[in-house]
Structure 1
Amino acid sequence: MRGAAKVWPGSFRLLICALSLWITALAAPGPWALFTVPPLVCLGFLCLRRHHHLGVLLIVFACLLTVQTTMLGSARGPDEATEVEGIAVGHSQPGDSGWSRLTVLTSTGITEVLSPSAPPDGAHVSLRTEALDDIRISNDDARIIRAPNGVWKWRADLRLQLRHDSLASGHSGGALLPGLVVGDTEPQDARMEDDMRVVSLTHISAVSGSNVTIVSLGAGLLAGLCRAGPRTRVGVGVLTCVGYVFIVGFEPSAIRAAGMAIAVALVFLRGGGISPVAVMSSTVCILLSFVPVLATSVGFVLSVVSTAAILFVVPIILRRLSLHLSIVPTIVISALIVPLVAQLACTPVLVAIDPRIGLWSVAANALAAPAVLPATVLGFVSMVCGGLGLLGVPGLLWCAQVPAWLGSLCAWWIVGVARICAGLPGAALDWPKPPVGTLAALGLLILLAAGLWMLVRRKLWGIPTVVVCICLTALIIVVGRTKPPADDWLVMICDVGQGSATVINLGEGAGLVVDTGKDPKPVDVCLDEGGIEDFDLVISHFDADHSAGYAGTTWSRTLHRLWVSSNVSEGAEVRGLVADTGAKVVPTTRGRSLDAAGARIEVLWPPARETAETDRGEEADGNEETDVGEETVGTEVRNEDSLVLRVELEGLSFLVPGDIGEDEQFILAQSLEPVDLLIAPHHGSSDLAEDFFTAAGARLGVFSVGENSYGHPTPRAQRAFGPVPVLRTDRCGTVAVYAHAKYSTARDCHGDEQ
């Protein structure tokens, strides 16, 4: 007890220091913050005599604040354009835009640069950058001054070798293993990523603190088997962790994972006599001082929360359960308790990111957890064998294939668990949006923790407390759940965020899907709600918010034909989509009509490119911006090439206009027949012609829109509909429309009608 009392003040001041550094990192003060350092140091020395702990806290905080402010200044750089030169030590996987976030080690620290391309890791590069919030951005590709040296080339070859050996297994586990071991997520497809996200297994799809912890702890324990002392065990674990991070990459996520792994290694390999609070707080202090950009990282918050829960809560529960369940091996209890505690602790943060809660997330984590350890260890062994084989050790390149195959088998189990659990009812239930949803989840977590604590202490009040917690959770889910459409729906405007996806019901599980949105999961959910199993796909144009989510339409469904404008039918986007799905391409243009299971579909736009250029010839004379050379025909993505469909189905007529602008709308308005339903062109952009809305004469309007920085839908677009009900998918969710323009919405939004 006396030892704990001696340790606690030091742990407490480190905790206060960590929280203070987190606040300053979020505030991101400028160089002026350095002027506060001398007064803090002086005040600290004055307090040393009578208030020793306060004095030490002030001095330590002042020193770390100096480092943090310097690193922030280095990362942010000057406001004007400047040259950044250094070694590219890591990069993120390119996003939908193709841009990557580079981690560049400069003479003054670490700088994060958003770049249109990623140079090889280890290359000495130079980039012309500008300030963008707390990072830099470069509009040009990095200029390589010096190619990576032999060590960096060996690292790149090692990562490729692990990917090759893993993919040789021929199943989905081979695509997951490189991400789990070294953070190489490129082989993972969109469905795997979404399944892992739905059941909260994304920390497994890419290398995380748990994987680094397994490797560093394993090395330390192996040293212990060789009769190494506590300090040697810790040293071996830390050195292994540093080497592992070099292979993974020095981007902030890997540094964060390494920090948390070292914290766990210090606590468990040291063998007692060290405070977990002090270790956790020290780790956070060091990370936020040298990599302050982590303060705004959700992954860092999740790492801190889950690691803290594992260090503080799991040992208490294990001690109690071991007394009452002595028959069950401790390792089995740990395999169940650790993912449960970590998942529950992270829930308030997770619902703040994505306001949904999964009934099967804890079960998925518990089922996947036993496979993470062997998959990580086998993948690491394969990596070591492959690395030595690349250095010329005979036979090891062949030997590396065996653990890679076995590790891929373990990873296959994880993928299977994620896929099955993500497909079960209740895998993704709606939860209130933050901050209400976050506070509700935090309150319920505290209530559950209190109930479980009382049960562990054998107090009967724990039972009603847990029951109340479960009932309140169920009540929140039931009240906030989305409502599926009735069976007689004719058209659904899907809630896919800032994008567009429309589904036309052709009966008996068949449908026509017009655009897919940007992400695959929302359109997949929408098609599930509509009961669509076989479909044709229409892509109005190949902007990402209309076409990038096409993979979600094919999950457990059959795609037959792909309808596109003849102006883009020879483009690379069409060829890529056909290669992925095997669909038959049907080019179409203005004037074409077809009947599909009782639906009459008329293509109103676009005309063939040559015709369109002729129609605009007089306007385009001398205007270079409207010239289209032959080399761009059939390949260029343009809003004015959007397919516009007029559909009549069982007494309901509606218009799906893609992203056409004011000029195209004005042309169509001259001959447009009225419709019952109009989906706003271009998500409610101000690039519109009021004559188009007037000619449509719709009885109902819908904006397919999500959170955006464009101001969609604009006030002008909202006024253009006139005095009719106008719905928004960001507020109402998916909109289902029936005969005679009757409608239902997934969420209650009657007060939001325009």
Structure 2
Amino acid sequence: MAFRRVVAGALVCVAASAVGVGFRLTAVGSGPVRALAVREVTATLDAVVTGDPAVSVKAGSARRRTTVLVPVRVEEVDRRRVRVPVLLLAGDEAWRSLVPSQHVRLTARLVVPRRGELLAAIGLVRGPPTVVGGPSLPQRWASVIRSRLRAAVGRLPADQRGVLPGLVDGDTSLLDPELADAFEKAGLTHLMAVSGENLSLLIGAVLMAGRLTGLGRRALPLFAGATVFGFVLVARPSPSVLRATVMGSVALLAVVTGRERRGVPALCAAVLVLVLLDPGLARSYGFALSALATVGILILAPPWRRSLARWLPGSVPGRVLRRVAGMLAEPLAVSAAAHVACAPVLVLLDGEVGLVAVPANLLAAPAVGPATLLGVLAAAVAPMSLSIARWIVVPAGLAVGWIAGVARVCARAPYAAVAWPAGPVGAALLAVVFIVGALTLRRPGARRVAAAAMAGVAVVALIVHVWAPGWPPRGWRFVACDVGQGDALVLAAGPGRAVVVDTGPDPRPIDRCLSDLRIRAVPLLVLTHPHADHVDGVRGVLRGRAVGETVISPDSEGEERRLLTGRRVRPAGIGDVWRVGPLTLGVIGPLTTLRVSTRDPGTLVNDASVVLLARWPGLSALLCGDVETEAQRRLLAAGMPQATILKVPHHGSSHQDPDFLAAAHARIAVTSVGVDNDYGHPAPATMALLARIGLRSYRTDRDGDIAVIGSHDGPTVVTRRPGSG
């Protein structure tokens, strides 16, 4: 009978979902907006912003392209009334300032969505928006509170002012990208995401504070409910925040009543209702992670907490230590349960299993409550008194500083994340591992065997890491860093010192590469030409390192200087030579007389690249920037030096002179190129040409970081995918 009820309930849910999806597909797949999108017509739209604008930044070969993604509900198109969702892709920065519920008028070219989104169209917009109304009163209040909180934290250190607004309302606009990477590697990103788990942490801190202050069982839910209301107000009642509120409220109800088991049916009902109201949630990773984290807290955490509460105090000596160990049971159980529940989905996204997430969350947990509560208090006070709010955020900043420090330390830990098969197979395999592990740990004998095996694996991993470190390879001279679609080359110039040639499109990958190579000083920085994929990562080189002279192309108008305010910058000159430790670096190009900027055609800017010859004892490298066919022919006519390593020009594009590539008589070809880039780099014809010439070819999209070691027996190449240890 029970089985029949389960089957009947499942069939009802499937039928209801099918009806909901059918209605939504009918709404977005018909009507005037979709008809215009099919014909890719440019139309005038009146729309309401339904979510916070998001920014997508892409570094192309010519310049850095910023696209603002704005979800809207179109209410009128060419004077016809409609009500359908559309995603706008806008190039004007003014779109970033919009807030939900604002009414805008715009002209956009409508196209059909390509990935099955439940949208009537994608709108391609040029120019700024025309605001014709709104925002609503709650959204105005939310904007004021968020902006005043940002002002309140403005005097805190960089890490603290970047993280604290994220803890309170998910605002990460002030967060340093490098610290964001550290949070991701340490498994702490959920603290700054507007999610059910975030709200559960906030509610947990409020409940703890309420119990400490002696609030009764009747007042405590009211206090927590007021916190939920404030969270929704500050974080803006967008669909994502409302979903988080539902998840957090379910967890709150279960915790307050002490009936975690009854929380599971409530959660299932909440998930079902939300999916019926918004079928697009069924393909949302964020929604899945939010629901799974809540499931882990409701189902896995209670028995784990009870087991840990029995085991931890008895495993340590001393009354005080036993009391502390008993207090750790709940945060450890909650962190582990949420992480285990979410791990299979995270594998789908990253193809990695984080090993430091549980200890990182355990270490960060004591600071999350005070930081969040004080941050919420500062957000409430800031609209009335900014000076008082600035005092409140000082102790909150200290707690946030601890969390940021935990993130940085754990992200640098050996084997913080290990590679795992990606996709559904990897997720299923990880789920099987967890199930087998849970069954194994139920038996005392199996627990001892598993503990011994894990200890053995840990010892072996430690020995391998200490005695056979894979990176950086001993005696390296040249490294092409994997920075995506761009160039970033590191030339060894002595212990802890290197010359850097180009920095890639983003500060984080080059900073990661230099940190992994243990580079503390950069006596010379060369920016070959002013394209974004070669210069926009400059901040990553400057971060925490002593940087000396910077050299740019003599043909450049100097647009690179915007990234190097206050630093000495000069143009390279033909015949310039630098000697830094064992490295000798000379300039052999460009051989042009033009002045170029990023507004000029890409070929002109590419041909203005600084071309360098690097020499070490027993090894040399020809670094060609992005020079194309015409510039290559000029260099060939002027006399080409020979080199062991050829940095293939322009990411291996098809614009190559075969005689130029052959004239270097190189043994190794290195192509710096991004995975699945939009430019078709590297060109198959160029790769075939390098093979015919007889060069051993390496590519950063396929091989990751590429290091070359010089020796009397010839060069040796060592490659490593970033994050592999």
- Tell me which of 79, 103, 115 is aligned to 1:124: 103
Alignment of 1:221-232 (within 5 A): 225=215, 228=218
Cα pair 1:654 1:675 within 8 Å, conserved: yes
TM-score scaled by structure 1? 0.78
Q: Does 1:565 align with 2:553?
A: yes
Alignment of 1:9-158 (within 5 A): 53=9, 56-57=12-13, 59-66=15-22, 68-69=24-25, 73=29, 77=34, 78-79=37-38, 80-81=40-41, 82-96=43-57, 97-107=65-75, 108=83, 110-116=85-91, 117-121=95-99, 122-127=101-106, 128=108, 129-133=110-114, 134=117, 136-140=122-126, 141-146=128-133, 148=135, 151-158=138-145
In the other structure, the counterpart of 1:16 is: none
For 2:634 and 2:287, the matched residues in 1 are separated by 53
Q: Does 1:595 align with 2:579?
A: yes
- Tell me which of 158, 176, 189 is aligned to 1:202: 189
Cα pair 1:559 1:583 within 8 Å, conserved: no
Identity %, equivalent residues:
30
Alignment of 1:648-659 (within 5 A): 648-659=615-626
**CA deviation after TM superposition for structure 1 residue 368, in Å:** 0.7
1:698 counterpart letter in structure 2: A
Q: Does 1:689 align with 2:685?
A: no
Q: Does 1:257 align with 2:244?
A: yes
**CA deviation after TM superposition for structure 1 residue 519, in Å:** 3.9
Cα pair 2:381 2:389 within 8 Å, conserved: yes
Aligned to 2:104, the other structure's residue is in SS state strand
CA shift in 2, pair 1:170/1:56, >3 Å: closer
For 1:377 and 1:71, the matched residues in 2 are separated by 43
In the other structure, the counterpart of 1:746 is: 719
CA shift in 2, pair 1:568/1:295, >3 Å: farther
CA shift in 2, pair 1:539/1:442, >3 Å: farther
For 1:578 and 1:515, the matched residues in 2 are separated by 13
Q: Kindly provide the CA deviation profile for residues 221-268 of structure 1, in whole angstroms up to 9, marking residues without a partner as x.
A: 9799576599xx58x867864653343245564344334223323433
In the other structure, the counterpart of 2:60 is: none
Aligned to 1:118, the other structure's residue is in SS state helix
Cα pair 1:484 1:746 within 8 Å, conserved: no
**CA deviation after TM superposition for structure 1 residue 693, in Å:** 1.1
In the other structure, the counterpart of 2:528 is: 540
**CA deviation after TM superposition for structure 1 residue 324, in Å:** 4.7
Cα pair 1:540 1:565 within 8 Å, conserved: yes
**CA deviation after TM superposition for structure 1 residue 437, in Å:** 5.2
2:581 counterpart letter in structure 1: A
The answer to which of 473-482 and 689-698 deviates more is 473-482
Q: Does 1:704 align with 2:689?
A: no
**CA deviation after TM superposition for structure 1 residue 491, in Å:** 0.9
In the other structure, the counterpart of 1:621 is: none
**CA deviation after TM superposition for structure 1 residue 369, in Å:** 1.5
Alignment of 1:276-425 (within 5 A): 276-324=263-311, 328=323, 332-387=328-383, 389=384, 396-425=385-414
- Tell me which of 626, 630, 634 is aligned to 1:667: 634
State how many pairs are aligned.
669
For 2:488 and 2:505, the matched residues in 1 are separated by 9
For 1:637 and 1:308, the matched residues in 2 are separated by 57
Cα RMSD over matched residues?
3.9
The answer to which of 550-559 and 719-728 deviates more is 550-559
Alignment of 1:361-510 (within 5 A): 361-387=357-383, 389=384, 396-431=385-420, 438=427, 440-452=429-441, 454-455=442-443, 459-465=444-450, 467-468=452-453, 483-510=470-497
TM-score scaled by structure 2? 0.81
For 1:9 and 1:272, the matched residues in 2 are separated by 26
In the other structure, the counterpart of 2:319 is: none
1:641 counterpart letter in structure 2: A
Q: What are structure 1's unaligned runs of at least 5 residues?
A: 14-51, 390-395, 614-627, 749-754
For 2:166 and 2:550, the matched residues in 1 are separated by 33
CA shift in 2, pair 1:348/1:271, >3 Å: closer
For 2:329 and 2:167, the matched residues in 1 are separated by 24
2:369 counterpart letter in structure 1: L
The answer to which of 64-73 and 704-713 deviates more is 64-73
Cα pair 2:494 2:582 within 8 Å, conserved: no
Q: Kindly provide the CA deviation profile for residues 86-123 of structure 1, in whole angstroms up to 9, marking residues without a partner as x.
A: 22243245332432222324453554333223242142
In the other structure, the counterpart of 1:247 is: 234
Cα pair 2:507 2:541 within 8 Å, conserved: yes
CA shift in 2, pair 1:59/1:632, >3 Å: closer
Q: What are structure 2's unaligned runs of at least 5 residues?
A: 58-64, 76-82, 314-321
